[in-house]
């Protein structure tokens, strides 16, 4: 009977940070929205909760640090789970990169909604890159599931970003918040599935992955 080694427990703990990051992001942003009377999750962007002067910023500042630290830890966990797969190493590296952008967010991301949107595009790119790399790494049902999830994320974030001219002009953005939230939900659902897949994988000494579900491009 297989008994996990201390290294395996560390790897699993790091992978669990990915699921925890998703829960922190969704839970704390929605909790912060309750601090702002008149804020609409349907029409107001998630980004607005983080802006200087917003009544929710005080609640989110500490958790941005926690969230990004969890992303970095998760990326390390994915890297350690790669078992020779370059594609999974790329996915892990992109998660680490996403978490390491915190100083940019602290310097520029809260100055204006427009600056926040630009940094969000970088974040979305790391999401999609991680999804694409993971899809390459795995065979079976996870690959089409990843591609469908990517299509949903691209479409919904595209709809949300289409409101940028209205944001800059100070005009209403009727469904910007809803589009963002569904896109974020689709991404984190995909992330939870990836965590579950990697959690169940058994490391072996020759570096070969599970041939029924895992390829080594």
- Choice between 153 and 171, residue whose per-residue pLDDT is larger: 153
User: Could you read off the pLDDT of 1-25 as tens digits, one per residue?
Assistant: 456 687 888 999 999 999 999 999 9
CB 140 within 8 A of CB 212: yes
Tens-place pLDDT, residues 39-61 = 999 999 887 887 777 888 888 88
Mean pLDDT of the chain: 85
Q: What pLDDT is stored for residue 113 in this prediction?
A: 62
DSSP string, 151-168: HHHHHHHHHHHTTHHHHH
What is the token pair recorded at 70?
Answer: 């969890």
Residue 167 pLDDT class (50, 70, 90 cuts):
confident
* d(C-alpha 138, C-alpha 197), whole Å: 10
* CA proximity to 94, closest of 67, 132, 149: 132
Q: How confident is the model at residue 110 (pLDDT cuts 50, 70, 90)?
A: low
**Cβ atoms of residues 155 and 24 within 8 Å:** no
For residue 204, is pLDDT > 50?
A: no
What are the structural domain ranges in the chain? Answer: 12-200
pTM of the predicted protein model:
0.85
Question: pLDDT digits over 170-181, tens only?
Answer: 888 999 999 999
Q: 53, 47, 160: which is closest to 113 by C-alpha? A: 47
Q: How far apart are CA 39 and CA 209, in angstroms?
A: 47
Average pLDDT of the residues in 156-160? 92
């Amino acid at each position: 009977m297989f008994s996990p080694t201390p290294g395996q427990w560390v790897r699993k703990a790091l992978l669990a940070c990915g699921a925890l990051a998703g829960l922190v992001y969704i839970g704390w942003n929605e909790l912060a929205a309750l601090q702002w009377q008149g804020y609409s999750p349907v029409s107001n962007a998630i980004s607005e909760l983080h802006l200087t002067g917003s009544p929710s910023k005080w609640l989110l500042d500490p958790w941005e640090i926690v969230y990004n630290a969890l992303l970095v830890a998760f990326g390390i966990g994915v890297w350690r789970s790669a078992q020779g797969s370059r594609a999974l190493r790329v996915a892990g590296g992109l998660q680490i990169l996403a978490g390491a952008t915190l100083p940019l967010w602290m310097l520029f991301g809260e100055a204006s909604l427009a600056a926040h949107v630009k940094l969000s595009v970088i974040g979305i790119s790391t999401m999609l890159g991680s999804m694409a790399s993971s899809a390459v790494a795995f065979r079976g049902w996870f690959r089409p599931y990843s591609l469908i999830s990517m299509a949903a994320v691209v479409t919904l974030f595209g709809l949300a970003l289409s409101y940028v001219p209205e944001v800059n002009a100070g005009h209403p953005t009727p469904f910007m918040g809803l589009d963002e939230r569904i896109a974020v939900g689709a991404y984190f659902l995909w992330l939870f599935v990836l965590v579950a897949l990697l959690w169940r994988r058994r490391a072996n000494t020759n570096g070969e992955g599970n041939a029924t579900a895992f390829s080594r491009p």
